[in-house]
Amino acid sequence: MSSGNVYIETFGCQMNELDSELVCGQLRALGYRFTTESSQADVVLYNTCSVREHAEQKVWSRLGELRDRKLTQPGLVVGVLGCMAERDGEDLMRRMPVVDVMCGPGELDKLPALLDNAVRTRASLLAELPEHLNATDVSARQVALQGNTSRRSATLAAAADTLELLDLSRSISPISVGADEGTGEFARRTAYVRITRGCNKFCTYCVVPFTRGAEIHRPPDHIVDECKRLADAGVIEITLLGQTVNHYRFEHGASVMVGGVMQPQKGRTYAGGHRRDPFAGEATTTFADLLARIHDEVPAIQRLRFVTSYPRDFGDDVLEVIRDHPRLCRYLHVPAQSGSDRILKLMNRGYTAAEYTEFLDRARAILDQPEIGRPLMLSGDFIVGFPTETDEDFDATVALVERARYKSAFIFKYSPRPGTVAIDKLADDVPEGVKRSRNNRLLLAQAQISEEIGASLVGTTPQVFVEGLSAKERKRRDRAKPANTPSKIPGGVALTIAGRAASGPAINARDEACCGTKPREEDAQTLPDQVQLTGRTDGDVIVHFDAPPDRAPESMLGCIVPVRITQVRGLSVLGTMAGE
């Protein structure tokens, strides 16, 4: 099949958003078209997340809705991609025969072939459907999962890493780069680039090492080349992605070519505790080297940032490169997970709360320069209600949040995940009510700090990358337009200084509330004929401001403009565009 309407919905993290973008590019090149309306699709794909049960439940309910639809649209092909496919395996198909295609995150390069087979298989099964069955009983059963035999667990030299080819074949054009599907009119000027895949950490609560496999590092030339191609297509902001992104390292002496393509390398174990990459030298591209290379070789990228950093082994060499290269953002996302040493040990995180804060102090000493308008902004992740967590352990977490002074924090209630060490060895013994109240307490503590950090920005004039309409403006337009009319300007980042980029219509940002409280853009003093825009500072602080009357709001998307911060309301920072 070379055509058909595809609807793709993405759940979970930025890595999934990037996977969806790569998959869309690949399918588009084969003639598929995309729709933002699931009801108009011939193929419905869910790119799933298994990190918390809540994210999986959403997918189960979407699949339930599709069961009825298959009765009226028997040829509809349904695919589950990503971590849930990998984790549940063929059990998912048994429980939900509505699913025709399952494709794990390590096998996405095979998706076009799977879809093609699924369309044909469905058609022939339906042609021979026994009378006592209906279309919902028939699954085309096309499956590509890594299972326990990860192709990356053998030496990478043994076979070409075809997943690397998916990243290498990324289709990049001014329209395809994050263009607003459905309108095709606006190319976003921000993009993700993967530098590592998988994870070797095995935190006891986490499914990622099982669903995404062993950690591998992409060749630096591939990464730099991808950044150059994105820059040529108009991208000015890049976020490098990896689960433990600061562990990136590529040893050139050990590089292997297969079919003319340099292969990614397996991650090596860190000795731990060092402040500089011990392998630094000409024969190795360290994470610090990679940042400097992209900065120097792709000057059109005005903002370069990276997520997610692992707090242990974060070298001074990386911090110094950020300090010395002006287009590297002063923003670090460094999850702590808990402030209690006992819980950190049970989580297998490999550091103590004191070691974590020592790192933050070191990062601030090297990077925080508010006097030149470059304050270091930090954000973190926390899990509350981990098995055996006492009030005392939780108090230590609150103390860490107060000490760290993040600009935002993602706070999650512990969710036991099948296959992890924690679910096997530790009873989920913190009652739901206690998890909820700790969650709320931590959200409140963080909200107070976010507001104080917002207030400290009042009177400053940071450069703001304009991402789209504010949520308030989108709501206003939604109320004014007839149903089903697509917006002509993409929505910006959802919302607040604690927010995260949402990437277009069919893509959900992280599903949990961050810092809990709803944004209060409504409070902004926008005149009726003014359009409120949303953007981010270099430190990832979300700013709302009115487009000046003499500029078309559309013309400002993807630009970096100076905005004078005038007030902080709740979690939001409001400002006025300053003269350029």
By the criterion CB under 6 A, which residues form the site for ligand SAM? 13, 51-52, 205-206, 208, 243-244, 308, 310, 335, 337, 381, 383, 412, 414-415, 417
CA distance 211 to 530: 46
Task: Tell me which of 244, 265, 446, 526 binds ligand SF4, using CB under 6 A.
Answer: 244
Q: Which does 209 bind (CB under 5 to 8 A by kind): ligand SAM, ligand SF4, none?
A: ligand SF4
* Closest CB 206 distance from ligand SF4, rounded Å: 3
Buried b (16+ CB within 10 A) or exposed e, 31-54: ebebbbebeebbbbbbbbbbbbee
Is residue 178 within 8 A of residue 14, CB to CB? The reply is no
CA separation, residue 61 to residues 68, 84, 96 (Å): 12, 14, 11
**Residue 202 near ligand SF4 by CB under 6 A:** yes
Q: Which residues have CB under 8 Å from 131's CB, separation 6+?
A: none
CA distance 433 to 455: 33
Q: Which is nearer to ligand SAM, 415 or 487 (CB)?
A: 415
DSSP letters along 168-189, please? HT----TTTTT--TTT-----S
Q: Contact region for ligand SF4 (CB under 6 A) — 53-61, 175-183, 197-205, 252-260?
A: 197-205
For 66-107, the three-class secondary structure string (H helix, E strand, C coil) is HHHHHHHCCCCEEEEEEHHHHHHCHHHHHHCCCCCEEECHHH
CA distance 383 to 394: 10
Q: Which is nearer to ligand SF4, 209 or 575 (CB)?
A: 209
Q: Which is nearer to ligand SF4, 213 or 558 (CB)?
A: 213
Q: Which is nearer to ligand SAM, 540 or 546 (CB)?
A: 540
Q: State which H helix or E strand residue 377 sits in.
A: strand 377-384
Task: Tell me which of 6, 138, 191, 208 binds ligand SF4, using CB under 6 A.
Answer: 208
* Closest CB 380 distance from ligand SAM, rounded Å: 8
Q: Contact region for ligand SF4 (CB under 6 A) — 200-208, 263-271, 274-282, 539-547?
A: 200-208
Q: Which does 417 bind (CB under 5 to 8 A by kind): ligand SF4, ligand SAM, none?
A: ligand SAM
Dihedral angle computed from the Cα positions of residues 115, 120, 121 and 122, in that order, rounded to the nearest 10 degrees = 90
* Closest CB 52 distance from ligand SF4, rounded Å: 12
Q: Which does 574 bind (CB under 5 to 8 A by kind): ligand SF4, ligand SAM, none?
A: none
Pairing state of beta strands 5-10 and 216-217? Answer: unpaired
Task: Tell me which of 209, 242, 462, 575 binds ligand SF4, using CB under 6 A.
Answer: 209
Q: Which residues have CB under 8 Å from 193's CB, separation 6+?
A: 18, 223, 226, 227, 230, 238, 239, 240, 241
Q: Which is nearer to ligand SF4, 119 or 208 (CB)?
A: 208
Q: State which H helix or E strand residue 240 sits in.
A: strand 237-241
The β-bridge partners of 377 are 331
**Residue 59 near ligand SF4 by CB under 6 A:** no
Q: Contact region for ligand SF4 (CB under 6 A) — 99-107, 120-128, 194-202, 230-238?
A: 194-202
No. of helices (H) and no. of strands (E), the chain: 17, 24
Q: Which does 143 bind (CB under 5 to 8 A by kind): ligand SAM, ligand SF4, none?
A: none
Q: How many CB atoms lie within 10 A of CB 574?
A: 24
CA distance 58 to 329: 34
Q: Which is nearer to ligand SAM, 501 or 574 (CB)?
A: 501
Q: Which does 415 bind (CB under 5 to 8 A by kind): ligand SAM, ligand SF4, none?
A: ligand SAM
Is residue 568 within 8 A of residue 455, CB to CB? The reply is yes
**Residue 199 near ligand SF4 by CB under 6 A:** yes
Q: Which does 202 bind (CB under 5 to 8 A by kind): ligand SF4, ligand SAM, none?
A: ligand SF4
**Residue 203 near ligand SF4 by CB under 6 A:** yes
Q: Please state the φ and ψ torsions of residue 212, each to the nearest 5 degrees.
A: -105, -5
Q: Contact region for ligand SF4 (CB under 6 A) — 195-203, 226-234, 386-394, 484-492?
A: 195-203
Q: Which is nearer to ligand SAM, 34 or 210 (CB)?
A: 210
Q: Contact region for ligand SF4 (CB under 6 A) — 19-27, 137-145, 203-211, 435-443?
A: 203-211
Q: Please state the φ and ψ torsions of residue 363, each to the nearest 5 degrees.
A: -65, -40
Residues 260-319 binding ligand SF4 (CB under 6 A) are 310
* Closest CB 442 distance from ligand SAM, rounded Å: 12
Q: Which is nearer to ligand SAM, 226 or 381 (CB)?
A: 381
Q: How many CB atoms lie within 10 A of CB 253?
A: 7
Binding site for ligand SF4 (CB under 6 A): 199, 201-203, 206, 208-209, 243-244, 310
